[in-house]
Structure 1
């Protein structure tokens, strides 16, 4: 993108009072950002309000600095890009949505925008089994040739990105800040891995801080890039339900993993299932619905023996819902000390997780 064209894009998107809908109308009428600023105010007023037309006549005060920063950022590395709506590399699935970003900042491998993708989202405070599910499903989906899309948030998002990368697959992180910032800060190393092996995307200009309003809005990009959205764990007020709703509005599939009826982190998934989301127990369920090739190894609930307990009496007594030590003492008849020792062994072997409130829960395997 030439400097003059970049300046026009930044000016159009940075003009106060010009939202994405108004900007699209202007582009549809004048064909390019440069042409918008070459038009007379009278011509502009036939497309937008008089207030908006007047705002377009005055360049934003921070435009020169932003232009210099963006130009330097692009020049610093060959894996940094700007994708406008008309760019051949602009993702086709996202372009087909009702509100595609007019400009996308990208860092990493643009070729990951072409293969089929599944979004994996969920709670920022997942249970241990929930995080394990996210990693296992993401790994299996990536092994089946799907790109895993998520939002780089703590919890399920981070686990999904890690699962895809650890399996040698591809992942796209759609962030709610400028690409010169990493939020949350503890995902600095993960963002670096994604930039090297996957792709970071944002619609926000460089320097944009982590503003609360930006994150629900970026969710439409997460769902818009994918054929379907998988919600792993979500409370009833989770932002993941916003992503699921946007996916449904975009005509994409919505999937949800069920959980314990006693877990607040499962209630959002159960609500989605009641509303028509497909209940899934393995990556194969998702691939079948999307008519995609099956994964070499799929994630899902443990198989084990007839009851999935591999003959272990403590696992059989625990079942698949959180249980307390007292409840397990009553079910097994074991002394509390002996039962505690066995639970510790199961925890160390990765078969049981210790939850808040002195509860224990089995962990699903891949």
Structure 2
């Protein structure tokens, strides 16, 4: 972070991400900005006066400045801002920008509860029970606002008087799927909705795996309730392992799929045989590294 990080710097970062000079990816641009502690400096390096179309360059920067001002009411943060969630900075694929509706605390103890859109009645029951149990323990329930397991988890957390965070695969001004409009607005009012995409961005095939990575990074762990062989929850479980985040799998997902076999012997991956065991393991994980070590030692002794 830098004291010089202001709206001009934020606008330069937005302009860089939009124009991608030299074909640099967002991740590469983020690293370059971080190394310089300045987006404006990087912009000027790629756009020296007199060498390119200065009118187009100026237009891109001015447009970004206007957008940064208009985004204040949406809750706009860059990775260089002090209020950017510290837990997201811990992962290698953290988003360079973040939009949010609702309260974004400096620190948050939360676990992602994810699973299939085409969930079974048993899966939905487990999701509701787990989310309510986490809410009772003052642990934030994080999910992706998709139908099925996500909706069950969000709703149960709210109805239990707990906090929930929706990490969405569109911009924050969109509602997707449309049937979840009321729930999304309720979460924005009572909890938090966050997105790494421009505010009016539609859903795309790539946006949901990217959303899963942010969900994994924002939470201390991922709980997979029920997920098929090609589910986004399967992708998130793998991302969580790559992030060094614990993963809790229900025996329901382990029994019915082949993909968990790739993960169950990995450090930090737990299989729970009941809802009570899911919540107990989640409590250990939410308590921090010392409790995780104790859980691993107990499993080894058992």
Query: TM-score higher than 0.5 here?
Result: yes
CA contact (8 A) 1:15 1:55 kept: no
Q: Which runs of 5+ in 2 are unaligned?
A: 289-302
Of 232, 239, 242, the residue aligned with 2:235 is 242
Q: Which digits, 9 at most, give the CA deviation of each residue in 1:126-173, with x for residues without a partner?
A: 001111111110111121121111111111111111111111111111
- Which secondary structure state, in structure 1, belongs to the residue aligned with residue 166 of structure 2? strand
Structure 1 residues 14 and 227, CA gap change in structure 2 (3 angstroms): same
Q: Which residue does the alignment assign to 1:292?
A: 287
Q: Which digits, 9 at most, give the CA deviation of each residue in 1:275-313, with x for residues without a partner?
A: 4431122243323531639xxxxxxxxxxxxxxxxxxxx
CA distance in 2, matches of 1:260, 1:87: 39
Q: TM-score, normalised by structure 2?
A: 0.81
Matched, 1:227 2:220: yes
Q: Which digits, 9 at most, give the CA deviation of each residue in 1:29-70, with x for residues without a partner?
A: 43222222233658xxxxxxxxxx979995497776665455
Q: Which residue does the alignment assign to 2:292?
A: none
Q: Which residue does the alignment assign to 1:304?
A: none
Of 278, 282, 294, the residue aligned with 2:270 is 278
For the pair shown, the structure with the greater C-alpha radius of gyration is: 1
Matched, 1:123 2:116: yes
CA distance in 2, matches of 1:268, 1:193: 36
CA distance in 2, matches of 1:201, 1:8: 22
Q: TM-score, normalised by structure 1?
A: 0.67
Structure 1 residues 291 and 154, CA gap change in structure 2 (3 angstroms): closer
Q: Which residue does the alignment assign to 1:71?
A: 69
CA contact (8 A) 2:227 2:253 kept: no
* Mean Cα deviation higher: 57-66 or 215-224: 57-66
CA distance in 1, matches of 2:119, 2:58: 42
Q: Which residue does the alignment assign to 1:342?
A: none
CA distance in 1, matches of 2:158, 2:263: 29
Q: Which residue does the alignment assign to 2:177?
A: 184
Q: Which residue does the alignment assign to 2:107?
A: 114
CA distance in 1, matches of 2:181, 2:65: 25
- Which secondary structure state, in structure 1, belongs to the residue aligned with residue 252 of structure 2? coil
**Corresponding residue pairs, total:** 275
Kindly report structure 1 stretches of 4+ aligned residues shifted beyond 6 Å: 53-57, 60-63
* Mean Cα deviation higher: 180-189 or 252-261: 252-261
Larger proportion of helix: 2
